[in-house]
Structure 1
Amino acid sequence: MATYAIGDVQGCYDSLMALLEKIDYDDNQDTLWFAGDLVNRGPKSLKTLRFIKGLGDKAVSVLGNHDLHLLALYFNENNPKKSDTLEATLNASDSEELMHWLRHQPLVHHDKGLNAIMVHAGIPPKWGTKKALKRSLEVETFIQSPDFREFFNVMYGNAPDKWDKSLIGMDRLRMIVNYFTRMRFCTQSGRLDLLSKEGLNQNPEGFSPWFQLERKAAKKRIFFGHWAALEGKTNVDNVFALDTGCVWGGKLSAIRVEDEAWFRVPAQEKKT
């Protein structure tokens, strides 16, 4: 019996199958954690969603920015970007069922017994576990409510760029979502730089990788995706970067949460 945290699949279904074979996945005993971005850019988003949904309570998935983008496209009928590969998912016979399932996934997963948090992008320095879960619940409650489309209309944007407890309405929800699904570099006070995507040693002036700052959640093991440029390295003992760029021809990675053993497979998808 084991728990495996898996990096951004992004529709790379064949790579996921190869990874599960490598870890000798047992669907009767093992649990899979997915760090968000299940879909987009890769060729088989629909197959990936169907598979993970079909795992039921043997899988945990948090929402990533590409998952939220898919929800916004579906429910608000927005126009896809040129780089999106979501047409089959949006038009599938079971798309409504899949989108309903996806909309009910959390932003943050906490396993107290394993002393572990999984989130797509990260936890801002000034939030401990309790506060992160509380803020996550604010967004989850809204996007699972009858008014959820209102948020998807205004979800995109880089402002505000810093948390303030006085924030209200959609600005407040957008700020929370940007921390959990888009953050890479920030300041100690939590101000975000959402434009830079480089690796560890290429931070914009005045900003640092969020996990290298003094953090209130520092005693928790944190598993996150989103940041392929890190190539799986954080230089912080209890913070684990799961996105190793599978969709860009890199590798798909998993870590066994109990003993922190890594497993990786090369991308199986053909480059186009």
Structure 2
Amino acid sequence: MIHGVLNGLTELHTDKISILHRDLKPKNILVYNETKQPLISDFGSVKQFDIAVGCVSGSKTTLVYTPRESFIDNKYTKQSDIYQVGVSMFQILGGYFPGAYYDWLNEKEKKKFLTVVGGYEQSIFLEKVIQRLVTKNMLLNLESIPKYIDKKIVKVIQRATNPKLNVRYANTGEFMNDLFKIQKRLTNWSESDDIFYATKFNGDEYRVVENKKGFFIEKKGGDWRRKVGFSDSIEPLFEQLNRN
């Protein structure tokens, strides 16, 4: 899905079209039921940019997807679109991402919010909290991503959403190249009834289950057979199956 979005974004960013989307998020990604092909939608916030300048004014269309440079410098670039794809990737993979702005507040901020009178004043308070989280690089808690997600994928998200532009992907090509290199040997995961299923790039199938002795890995042959000993924690088994 992310590859497809980046392909579309590459086309928008070409010198011929020179368009910045400025509102990329999961709700603006449509997916064909049959082919699973993603489509970028909702072009209400797009702006065409001057190739020589490379940026437009910042957009706060959806606050929690707004990159740091829009808050700090009121500018939006190709890298800002890349940031929004990174945030979307984090959300799609199950990272903590509440729908209501209020849920981003810590306990102290929630108590203070309740003392704020007036809808407009409350919205300003929420905007300041979100802006602080973004500018201090505290919005995304990478530890909240499910533990079976490969750490290489987490590093891609970390780079795509980095507040420092000299660290963030410079263009969609860099982003796609990293994903492609990882995806070739990636373990695919699914979960059903508290059992985690892993399919390796070579087709081997495993699952991580738990009994009274702890967590363990089973490999599928004619039936499921235990592959290794027991573990008190599930994370090392995820790491083991994610290794190439």
Give the TM-score of the pair, scaled to structure 2: 0.27
Bigger RCO (CA 8 Å, 6+ sep): 1
Whose helix fraction is larger, Structure 1's or Structure 2's? 2
Tell which structure's C-alpha radius of gyration is larger: 2
Give the TM-score of the pair, scaled to structure 1: 0.25
